[in-house]
Structure formats: C-alpha cells, structure tokens
Amino acid sequence: MVDNNTVMESGICIECGARETDGLSCYQQFGFPLVWEHNDPKLYELHFWLVSCYMIQHPSNYTEEGYKNLVKLFINAYDNNWSTPYILKKNREIVKSVDKITTPIPSKERKRKLKLWSMTIEDIYLGGEKQAIVNINKWKEQIRKELR
C-alpha cells in the first residue's frame, strides 16, 4: 500500500515499522489522534509532540536540514521542558531560517530506510482516544530515549 506519505510492504511501514491495523497505513492511523484532539483541549496541548514523534519516525518527508532541525527542536523542547507557546515560537524561527523543510522529492522517489522504534503511531491508535494523552506522553519519552 502506498499513500502520499508512507509505503507499507507486507503490512509494515518501511520507515517506522508500524503494522497496518484495521486496514490502515501508519499515516492513516496518524489521522485518528489528530481528530481526537478536537474533542479534548488537554490532548490538543500535545499536538506538537504527536506530530513531531510521527515525523521523526518518517524522515523521508524532510530535507536533511529540515529533519536535523526537527530533531534538535524536539530534543531542546523535551530536555528543557519548554511550554507549547515557546516551542511554537522556536519552530517559527527555524522555519524562517531554513530554505526548505519538507522534501520536494515525490513520494515514490524518496529513499526510505527502516528503523524499528519501540513505539509508533500504531500504539497511539490501538490505545484509543481515552488513552491518547498517556500514550503520546509515553511516545515522546521513548522517542527521546532513542534519539540519544
């Protein structure tokens, strides 16, 4: 299965290792917590973490410089316990300073390399809306450990 953002082979994302669940690619599973956010302001407060965790696991969506900046922002925000408004301010500064963040390479032509992560969007999706806050917080902790 190929969508505009992920490639699933034999039911596995060839970039993050998430399994196809309920017939959904990892990108399609990612859409669920984005919708859940609209039902819960406390969940919406984790939007940066949700999106950055997913994107860190899919580097083919970025230029090399864009990906390095995303990882650096994630690490600084996590390690320094930055507030959401401050994270967004720093993100705007990065976006203004970088030529291109997302890759201009068409999806089918991107080089993807599998990295098996201890948690993926599959864990957030399977945990459901009621566990999303707890699971996104676990996910950001795991991502931070694995970026060391």
Taking residues 25-37, report their average pLDDT. Answer: 96
Q: Which of 14, 34, 18, 35 is nearest to 26 (CA)?
A: 18
Per-residue model confidence (pLDDT) at position 57: 97
Is 79 contained in some domain? yes
Residue 28 banded pLDDT, cuts 50, 70, 90: very high
Q: What is the mean pLDDT of the chain?
A: 93
Per-residue model confidence (pLDDT) at position 3: 58
CA angle 58-80-124, nearest 5°? 40
Q: Which of 108, 109, 111, 120 is nearest to 146 (CA)?
A: 120
Under DSSP, is residue 8 helix (H, G, I), strand (E, B) or coil?
strand
Is 82 contained in some domain? yes
Is 3 contained in some domain? no
Domain span including residue 45:
8-146
Is 2 contained in some domain? no
Q: Which of 145, 99, 121 is nearest to 21 (CA)?
A: 121
Spatial distance between the Cα atoms of 39 and 141, rounded to a whole number of angstroms? 24
Is 1 contained in some domain? no
Residue 101, pLDDT > 90, answer no
- Domains in the chain, number: 1
Is 69 contained in some domain? yes
Spatial distance between the Cα atoms of 141 and 144, rounded to a whole number of angstroms? 5
Question: For the chain, give me the number of helices (H) and strands (E)?
Answer: 7, 2
Residue 128: how many CB atoms within 10 A of its CB? 12
The secondary structure of residue 10, as a DSSP letter, is T
Is 90 contained in some domain? yes
